[in-house]
Amino acid sequence: MEQHTTNLIAKKVCWYESAAILFVIALSWFDEILDIPHLLLGSVATPINWRESTFESIVIAIVGGLIIRHTYKLLTRIGYLESILPVCASCRQIRMDPAFWNDIKQFVQERAANEFTHGICPDCIEKYYPELQQKTAANGTEQPPAG
């Protein structure tokens, strides 16, 4: 779920960047058509140069597209890296920052509306409790009840 939220944020940022790039292109055309330096600063009037404005618009669009692509890739990578939880291989505590470790059960309970219960996966039943697997097979159920 965290990764999905990050992708939405990345897409939203890219849409804002796209709007800003379109605004810059529109502003350059607005300046070319109205000759803003002539109107506001009293400089010498210049004729409209459609070829120059078209070239500038294309360059702005290419650079903007590269920036948007790079931003999206960076934001999705940051989201992925933020979703990684370092877990102690021995006691299974989660590192919250370099000096603070938190119990995994407490971590999940704080961030989700879930409670912990106990169960045994089929692989562990087969490996550690083969007698339960035989009982389960005799009863016709797939997994023993939670305990």
Q: pLDDT of 19-72, one tens digit each?
A: 999 999 999 999 889 888 888 888 888 888 999 999 999 999 999 999 999 999
Looking at per-residue confidence, does 13 or 81 come out higher?
A: 13
Whether residues 20 and 75 fall in one domain: yes
List all residues 6 or more positions away from 109 whose beta carbon is below 8 Å from its beta carbon. 115, 116
Cβ neighbours of residue 48 under 8 Å, at least 6 residues apart? Answer: 32, 33, 35
Q: Which tokens belong to 77? A: 């990578």
Same domain, 47 and 105: no
- pLDDT tens figures, 62-92: 999 999 999 999 998 988 877 777 888 777 7
101 forms beta bridges with 95
> Which tokens hold the place of 67?
């920036």
The answer on 128 and 78 residing in a single domain is no
Q: Does residue 6 sit in the same domain as residue 78?
A: yes
Among 8-12, 13-17, 93-97, 113-117, the range scoring the smallest mean pLDDT is 113-117
Asked if 131 contacts 120 with a C-beta cutoff of 8 angstroms, the reply is no
- CA 83 to CA 93: how far, in whole Å? 16
Domain count, the chain: 2
- Domain range for 106 is 93-139
Domain match, 97 and 68 both: no
Do 29 and 49 lie in a common domain?
Answer: yes
Residue 142, SS3 per DSSP: coil
Say if 146 falls within a structural domain.
Answer: no
113: DSSP letter: S
> pTM higher than 0.75 for the full model?
no
Q: Is residue 88 part of a domain?
A: no
Residue 47 lies in a domain: yes
117 shares a domain with 57: no
CB atoms within 10 A of CB 6: 19
115, 62: one domain: no
